[in-house]
């Protein structure tokens, strides 16, 4: 049996078993024209904020519209601890790769960071387009991973703003080869309230985190940690660190 595809819907606050929901617009067009869903097939709608409506296609009423008969409503609580990755801007499409794999792994928030040694800089219209691509990538990866709660991709931050996030975290780490401790042995919070700062991880650019940035993050309470004996690219380090952290908390228990 194939797995029911996931589509992003609007508000599901009134969804209930036995009710019929409409999927239209771009998502409806994808369901009808690309996935070629037909009456009787299974489908999942989510608002991307923790609510999912499981059901079957009741009817296809146009090229971009179908009706869904809801059989079950699922609600996921806020994850605890929340994991944020402050991701330095990689060059090319490696930023989208990082967003995609971190979303599939389970990241809760991705914060683009304009580090001093970033080759890529987001400015004006180019920056807006790049941010839109990151957000679209997170949405599509969230659907592919069958997540009911999609990660937030924030506006880009400066080093000072990133340090503010680190200062409010329950655990903060900078992934850096100078770290004398391994992240696998760090004192991570096993769980925590949804409102706390959670775990915040900083991934530097290909050129590395500058001494000034390391000092600013250290002042905010973030120590440098290493992942292992090898140095990972900025587009993969966040995903590896995220998986390690989730495996040591109750998130993956």
| Residue 157, both tokens | 């931050």
pLDDT at 146: 95
Q: Decide if 71 is inside a domain.
A: yes
Same domain, 195 and 231: yes
Q: What percent of the chain has pLDDT over 70?
A: 97
At which of 57, 75, 93 does a domain end? Answer: 75
Q: Where do the H-state alpha helices sit in 23-122?
A: 25-29, 94-105
Residues 67, 125: one domain?
A: no
pLDDT digits (tens, 9 = 90+) for 141-190: 999 999 999 999 999 999 999 999 999 999 999 999 888 899 999 999 87
Residues 6 or more apart whose CB falls under 8 angstroms from that of 185 comprise: none
**What is the C-alpha to C-alpha distance for residues 202 and 214, in angstroms, rounded to an integer?**
10
Q: Give me the number of domains the chain comprises.
A: 2
- CATH code for position 244: 3.40.1280.10
Helix axes 234-248, 94-105, angle to 10 degrees: 10
Q: Which domain holds residue 34?
A: 6-75
Cα separation of 247 and 253, whole Å? 7
Q: How far apart are CA 230 and CA 101, in angstroms?
A: 20
Which residue, of 26, 51, 75, is where some domain finishes? 75
56 shares its domain with 96 = no
Structural domain includes residue 1? no
Mean of pLDDT values over 116-140: 93
For residue 81, what are the contacts with CB-CB under 8 A and spacing of at least 6?
A: 170, 171, 188, 189, 190, 191, 192, 196, 198, 199, 249, 251
Q: Is residue 56 part of a domain?
A: yes
Q: Pick from 212, 193, 179: which is nearest to 201 by CA?
A: 179
Averaged pLDDT of the chain: 93
87 shares a domain with 22: no
Distance between CA 153 and CA 172 in Å, rounded? 19
In a domain, 200, yes or no: yes
Q: Which CATH number characterizes residue 34's domain?
A: 2.40.240.20
pLDDT tens, position by position, 27-84:
999 999 999 999 999 999 999 999 999 999 999 998 999 999 999 999 999 999 999 9
Domain termination residue (choose one: 59, 75, 91)? 75
């Amino acid at each position: 049996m194939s797995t029911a595809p996931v589509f992003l819907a609007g508000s599901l606050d009134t969804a209930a078993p036995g009710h019929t929901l409409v999927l239209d617009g771009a998502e409806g067009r994808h369901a009808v024209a690309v996935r070629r869903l037909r009456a009787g097939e299974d489908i999942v709608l989510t608002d991307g904020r923790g609510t999912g409506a499981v059901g079957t296609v009741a009817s296809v009423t146009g090229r971009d519209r179908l009706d869904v008969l809801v059989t079950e409503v699922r609600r996921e609580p806020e994850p605890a601890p929340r994991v944020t990755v402050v991701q330095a801007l990689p060059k090319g499409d490696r930023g989208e790769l990082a967003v995609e794999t971190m979303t599939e792994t389970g990241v809760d928030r991705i914060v683009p960071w304009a580090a001093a040694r970033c080759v890529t800089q987001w400015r004006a219209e180019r920056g807006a387009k790049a941010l839109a691509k990151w957000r679209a990538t997170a949405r599509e990866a969230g659907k592919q991973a069958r997540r009911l709660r999609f990660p937030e991709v924030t506006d880009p931050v400066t080093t000072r703003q990133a340090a503010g996030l680190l200062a409010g975290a329950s655990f903060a780490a900078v992934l850096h080869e100078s770290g004398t401790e391994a992240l696998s042995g760090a004192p991570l919070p096993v769980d925590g309230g949804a409102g706390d700062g959670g775990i915040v991880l900083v991934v530097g650019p290909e050129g590395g985190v500058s001494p000034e940035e390391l000092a600013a993050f250290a002042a905010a309470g973030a120590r440098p940690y290493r992942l292992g004996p090898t140095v990972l690219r900025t587009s993969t380090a966040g995903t590896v660190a995220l998986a390690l952290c989730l495996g040591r908390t109750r998130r993956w228990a």
